[in-house]
Amino acid sequence: MRQLCKGNVAIIKGAVLAGCRAFYGYPITPASEVAEAAAYYIPQVGGTFLQAESEVAAINMVYGAASAGARAMTASSGPGLSLMQEGLSYCAGSELPLVVVDVVRGGPGLGNIAPEQSDYFCTVKGGGHGNYRLLVVAPASVQEMASLTMLAFDLADRYRNPAIVLTDGFIGQMMEALDLDPVPAKLPEKPWAVMGTAETRKNLITSIYLEPDELEAHIRKLESKYRLAQEKEARHESLRAEDAEVLLVGYGIVSRVLRSAVEQGRKQGLKVGLFRPITLWPFPSRALAEAARKCRKVLVVELSVGQMVEDVRLTLAGQVPVDFYGRVGGNVPLTEEILEQVAPLFAAMV
Amino acid sequence: MRQLCKGNVAIIKGAVLAGCRAFYGYPITPASEVAEAAAYYIPQVGGTFLQAESEVAAINMVYGAASAGARAMTASSGPGLSLMQEGLSYCAGSELPLVVVDVVRGGPGLGNIAPEQSDYFCTVKGGGHGNYRLLVVAPASVQEMASLTMLAFDLADRYRNPAIVLTDGFIGQMMEALDLDPVPAKLPEKPWAVMGTAETRKNLITSIYLEPDELEAHIRKLESKYRLAQEKEARHESLRAEDAEVLLVGYGIVSRVLRSAVEQGRKQGLKVGLFRPITLWPFPSRALAEAARKCRKVLVVELSVGQMVEDVRLTLAGQVPVDFYGRVGGNVPLTEEILEQVAPLFAAMV
Amino acid sequence: MRQLCKGNVAIIKGAVLAGCRAFYGYPITPASEVAEAAAYYIPQVGGTFLQAESEVAAINMVYGAASAGARAMTASSGPGLSLMQEGLSYCAGSELPLVVVDVVRGGPGLGNIAPEQSDYFCTVKGGGHGNYRLLVVAPASVQEMASLTMLAFDLADRYRNPAIVLTDGFIGQMMEALDLDPVPAKLPEKPWAVMGTAETRKNLITSIYLEPDELEAHIRKLESKYRLAQEKEARHESLRAEDAEVLLVGYGIVSRVLRSAVEQGRKQGLKVGLFRPITLWPFPSRALAEAARKCRKVLVVELSVGQMVEDVRLTLAGQVPVDFYGRVGGNVPLTEEILEQVAPLFAAMV
Amino acid sequence: MRQLCKGNVAIIKGAVLAGCRAFYGYPITPASEVAEAAAYYIPQVGGTFLQAESEVAAINMVYGAASAGARAMTASSGPGLSLMQEGLSYCAGSELPLVVVDVVRGGPGLGNIAPEQSDYFCTVKGGGHGNYRLLVVAPASVQEMASLTMLAFDLADRYRNPAIVLTDGFIGQMMEALDLDPVPAKLPEKPWAVMGTAETRKNLITSIYLEPDELEAHIRKLESKYRLAQEKEARHESLRAEDAEVLLVGYGIVSRVLRSAVEQGRKQGLKVGLFRPITLWPFPSRALAEAARKCRKVLVVELSVGQMVEDVRLTLAGQVPVDFYGRVGGNVPLTEEILEQVAPLFAAMV
């Protein structure tokens, strides 16, 4: 079924197809449209939409619904996502699958409602307390707003861990073709859930482990799950990386600008390529190391002062020089602006 | 004035000497004693202690008091610190000086009340939204619980930015000698504050910058402040690092175990040294790079599954191999346990 | 369909038959069982059960669901009901039909979890701000827990006003025969509701009227609704009141004790009768005045220090002497205790 | 010290003179000015002003400060006062002296910000759960805004019970002469308070009494306190009531209009008088019964649809006919409007 659709709405269409039947949220620009679409579509398939008292309430309702085995989600932006950090840490600790959409806005604090990518640290590194990780996917098109949301639900269930859809107001506001295959989602059995039945009465959803050895064992179990995810779930996309001398690295909306830069740069005879992480966690380190092996320079571009660049540098461990270019506050670099950054890199290499 | 004092109490004694006159908090083990000490001492010097409705309320009260020019603080642990992430992002965005103590407990979620170092990411990388940094100090003794709290207030004022005292239940519960010099703190003028006077009526404390260019300029200003702090405020301590072949890196309570390991290792003829970051942000990268230059191996030890180790690897950029050893859940490695990790490193080097 | 059923559960069975499809609540003894039954039964008929963050959140969710035209409810006890007073005033001001169950416990403050009738004032007189009334029904049996809940939904819709089911832990815990006729409820059209459709987009649910004349007109409109309810909806029950010299007045669980007292008193030759208000608001004044006309004494009995007695005195306006007997804290008078109060009244009359 | 002062400010000047050193509040029109004055004056005398997260938080902070023996207060209007009903019930149950100012606005719900007297029921009858009473005073001038606030603190301490200053936006906004005698308040000893000292460690401030007999004893104790207050603390004022044929009854701002009506009526030869309750609870029943004994008609005037009129009718118990005239929504009757109501009463009597 092909249609013209807005990014923020595509998230919910994907979620409904993925079997999500519970959305709890609190409005915040530029994520309110996601909630609006949820309020419109989710009750139509027999699900529940509820506007909570606050983001703290919302994430805890998602915790509850996920505990009962439902596919549940919420959506917010910076300030709201920050308020959810306690809940996210609890969900990870209790091994609950659920999806949180972060339509990133300018920060810190109130900042503004224009797009940024400044929530990389607080989602990928983990903004809540304790040793845990969140699965993070970063769509770059309206189609992916739907498909990566569906993937997020699958990954969340596969690893019993919260997943984040990290996007921004640009992709949220875009209208593009969206092709959906209305096949009912295959929902996994959840024998660990508390379903309100006699058999599941013994199940306990908790993140408390008072004895040090018990908590250590629990954390090691989480660690081994995360290691498995790192091996199996890293996703990326690349463009003309095979023979690139300068490799551009960027995700989400930025990757679209970088794609143009690669195309235009190649026309100018510059051997430039693109590496785009689709999953931010697990970070596609192996593929990036491979792609960057033959490069002479890497340029990371973000709508931040430099967050993902740390993971690129950690991955490349000094083997290739890594430069950074960032814009913030809602400003997005133009193709030409990128090429202006790229040209001197080639010059320096001669 | 020399006295026997508990770590959690020393924090407040330092705070009082630093001129802190406002404490807003919400109880959580193992940070409740800090609040208890605050409730006892701060009103005695004419200050305000208030138990708020929640951690969200507490951090926003600190925001208010700091806006009015007071030296203000709060203290919490994992779940509470997570709830404060929105507030911390607002404080950084509004350039407010204040101190937050995190007596780290086991996580994620409820975890337990035993010590961990698993809040490194959510304090050093920034657990809230947007591009910002927190100043983070990590005491390793009761004396430093006081002196680094005092430093935290000074740094906070110098950079108009929140500062974190990152500690744990071990140091909090220890009793050691504490030597305090009851010299009244020299408090800086704060012409930007809103003091309830006619002259300060025009002052505006906010983190909102609706125009992209304005927000970008604001973030660039923060960035340059952070760069200055990175140049001037990184602090560390080292022990027999000059000729070390294996350099141990650890902070807080772990550094005390590593110190014993160095001493015992040296007795066994192992050329082992210690590098202990005192400030976690700014991270003492220059000093670490210098100290590690002549080493053959670096071993990072944390009460986590590996968080600070990322900053060590970023710093050393592949020039020295970096290994990691972590314990979690409240378990703390013994000196012997460390030496068991160290021995094979020497073996491998031969 | 005849069954043995507990009072607290009968409330929800009645609600489901009445078409209630949304329950939002927060647990409190002795009302938690109502929520438990709601969690069990309401999702089975496609409805929503949600445990909110607090009673404040719960009543505002009921506000939301009622605004959308759903039959919605919540249940609580003393402290929780007090927290709902703002919400109840808003619901009355916005003319929203909904049902709140108050399983009254001992007060004031925490009090205890034993039964009382001490929430008469805060429900019948209105514990929130402004000029408004709540419809209040008071069941005296398990059967009425169901049937009066159904009536509460009907009255709420008829007058577009919140209705209270005022009951207590005794009736809530009783098991008695319950006879339900599973006929689907006839739900009224609600053209004023906001249904998420184009036609209802113009509807506005609000209680704000900034201009004094507008607000006065609104309050007069509410007043005339209330006058109509007073004329048409007062309900009562009486027993041997026709020739009674002493008329006992009591509601809810107390009326069952008074019924025994009437029966035993008559055996002893005492001309005693019972008047039991079924609706506390509108108060059955006309019927009471009629019943009391030929009496010589009225004795009001409550599980309070005297609340409904004010309405009895207002009704009788000095025409018949009104005595009061109350027990509190969970103590309930025995039949003999009542007769001990009654005997001297007859003696005094001679 | 004589000065021109606004009503809302006079409240705080009275409070400061009464020794109040703690104000916790949340802003709401038309009570925000009270908070503003508190923020300005209370810190000047070494006290604490704090804007809480919500009215629920504010009343619980007052609970805390009162528990510690401080004279503490808050101020709000309709919606905020409704949110405080749980806290007020707890304070009454725990026998805590404190003062709450209600600057009544139009209701129910949001209503508007114009003056009303529609919070009589929820303060005088008790809007929270359980058997309790609040002491309620109703100022009619700027001078009384100060003096009755001081009285409220005294009564609160004398009966260890919350006291309400029930006023409205008219008196709050008026500027009149205020004469204050800056004599330091004599504060009573509070051996029951929890002062943070070894001796008061055994003190327990609570409202929980799990055993029915214990709770009944506690409620009886409260009852006897209330009976004492009814005997000793009822206050009123009257004007030409001695020979009045028609007695006007009104409080607060209304009493000022009625005073003009009495004066003008007398000039027209109408034997009209005024009875003004100063304390609404305890209601000055004895004095009113006395004043009304020789009257032929009573006319109660309120800025409500009829709330205090119930207490007038209860007091007079049918011995004198009681009429009611009310305006709402912020409309206040003019002197002429009152006389138009009065004239037919005389006509009917002939």
Q: What is the DSSP string of A225-268?
A: HHHHHHHH---EEEES-TT-SEEEE--THHHHHHHHHHHHHHHT
Q: Which residues of B touch D46 (CB under 8 A)?
A: 46
pLDDT at C337 over 90: yes
CB contact under 8 A, C118 and D106: no
What percent of chain A is predicted at pLDDT more than 90?
95
Give dist(CA D284, CA D233) in Å, integer: 8
Residue A52 pLDDT exceeds 70: yes
Whether C350 has a pLDDT exceeding 70, the answer reads no
Contact between C57 and A57 using a beta-carbon 8 Å cutoff:
yes
For residue A347, name the pLDDT band (cuts at 50, 70, 90): confident
**A340: pLDDT strictly greater than 90:** yes
Indicate yes or no: CB of A85 within 8 angstroms of CB of B83.
yes
Question: Do the beta carbons of residue B180 and residue B16 sit within 8 Å?
Answer: no
Residue B57 distance to chain D (closest CA, Å):
6
Instruction: List the alpha helices (DSSP H) in chain B.
Output: 7-17, 32-41, 55-67, 78-83, 85-93, 120, 142-159, 169-173, 212-232, 253-267, 285-292, 308-316, 335-349
With H, G, I as helix, E, B as strand and everything else as coil, classify residue D185.
Answer: coil
pLDDT band with cut points at 50, 70 and 90 for residue A350: low
- Please say if the pLDDT value at position A72 is more than 80: yes
Q: Give the rounded distance of the alpha carbon of D262 from its chain centre.
A: 24
Token representation of residue B78 = 């994992």
Burial of B46 (0-12, 13-18, 19+ CB in 10 A): exposed
Check residue C99 and give left, alpha or beta (phi > 0: left; psi -120 to 50: alpha).
beta
Phi-psi region of B136 (alpha: psi -120 to 50; beta: other; left: phi over 0): beta
Instruction: Label residue D196 left, alpha or beta by phi (over 0 means left) and psi (-120 to 50 means alpha).
Output: left
Tell whether the model's pLDDT for residue C145 goes beyond 90: yes
For residue C50, give the nearest of A46, A50, A56 by CB distance: A50
pLDDT of amino acid D126 = 81
In this predicted model, what pLDDT tens digit does every residue of D10-56 receive, in sequence order? 999 999 999 999 999 999 999 999 999 999 999 999 999 999 999 99
Q: Do A216 and B328 touch (CB under 8 A)?
A: yes
| Ranges under pLDDT 50 in chain D | none
- Nearest by CB to D53, from B46, B57, B196: name it: B57
d(CA B168, CA B155): 21
pLDDT digits 0-9 by tens, C220-250? 999 999 999 999 999 999 999 999 999 999 9
Nearest to A215 by CA among B166, B257, B336, B304: B304
Is it the case that residue A349 has pLDDT exceeding 80?
no
* C-alpha closest to that of A55 among A91, A34, A82: A82
pLDDT tens digit string along A183-215?
A: 888 899 999 999 988 999 999 999 999 999 999
Summarize the confidence of residues C164-188 as an average pLDDT.
93
- C-alpha to C-alpha distance for B313 and B318, rounded to whole angstroms: 7
Across A233-253, average pLDDT = 97
Task: List the strands of the sheet with A236-239, edge to edge.
Answer: A236-239, A272-277, A246-249, A297-302, A322-326
Residue of chain A whose Cα is closest to the Cα of B308:
A125
Q: What is the largest CA-CA distance in chain C?
A: 73
Side chain identity at A126, as an amino acid letter? Answer: G
Sequential DSSP letters for C67-130: HTT--EEEEE-HHHHHHTHHHHHHHHHTT--EEEEEEEBS-STTB-SSB--TTHIIIIIISSSS
The tens digit of pLDDT for each residue in A138-186 reads 999 999 999 999 999 999 999 999 999 999 989 999 999 999 998 888 8
Of the pLDDT bands very low, low, confident and very high (cuts 50, 70, 90), residue A282 is: very high
**Does the distance separating the beta carbons of D53 and B60 come in below 8 Å?**
yes
- Residue C297: φ, ψ to 5°: -145, 150
Q: Give the mean pLDDT of chain C.
A: 96
Q: Say which of D40, D48, D52 has its CB closest to residue B48.
A: D48
Q: Which chain D residues contact residue C207 at CB under 8 A?
A: 108-111
Sheet holding C236-239, edge to edge: C236-239, C272-277, C246-249, C297-302, C322-326
CB contact under 8 A, C51 and A64: yes
Q: Compute the nearest-CA separation of A333 from chain B (Å).
A: 12
Q: Where are the alpha helices (DSSP H) in B298-334?
A: 308-316
Residues of A in contact with C50 (CB under 8 A): 48, 50, 61
Q: What is the spatial distance between Cα B316 and Cα C10, in angstroms, rounded to a whole number?
A: 70
DSSP labels, A145-210:
HHHHHHHHHHHHHHHTSEEEEEEEHHHHH-EEEEE---PPP-PPP-TTS--SSSGGGG-----B--
Task: Name the pTM for this structure.
Answer: 0.93
Q: Which residue has the tokens 């996210």?
A: A88
Q: Check residue B1 and give its pLDDT.
A: 80
Per-residue pLDDT of chain B (350 residues; tens, 9 = 90+): 899 999 999 999 999 999 999 999 999 999 999 999 999 999 999 999 999 999 999 999 999 999 999 999 999 999 999 999 999 999 999 999 999 999 999 999 999 999 999 999 999 998 999 999 999 999 999 999 999 999 999 999 999 999 999 999 899 999 999 999 988 888 999 999 999 889 999 999 999 999 999 999 999 999 999 999 999 999 999 999 999 999 999 999 999 999 999 999 999 999 999 999 999 999 999 999 999 999 999 999 999 999 999 999 999 999 999 999 999 999 999 999 999 999 999 987 76
The reply to whether residue A121 touches residue B126, judged by beta carbons under 8 angstroms, is yes
- Inter-residue contact B304 to A131 (CB < 8 Å): yes
Within 10 angstroms of residue B74's Cβ, the number of other Cβ atoms is 30
Distance CA D119, CA D111 (A): 12
Q: How far is CA A293 from CA A222, A265, A283, C105, C349, in A?
A: 31, 20, 17, 73, 109
End-to-end CA distance of chain C: 51
Helix (H) or strand (E) holding C40: helix C32-41
Cβ separation B53–D48 shorter than 8 A: no
Within a 13 Å sphere around the CA of A251, how many CA atoms are in the beta-carbon half? Answer: 31
* D53 with B64: Cβ contact below 8 A: no
Residue to substitute from C60, C129, C214, C311, interface D, most D β-carbons within 10 A: C129
Residues of chain B contacting A118 with CB distance shorter than 8 Å? 129-131
| pLDDT at A281 > cutoff 80 | yes
Are A187 and A158 in contact by the 8 Å Cβ rule? The answer is: no
> What percentage of chain A has pLDDT greater than the value 70?
100
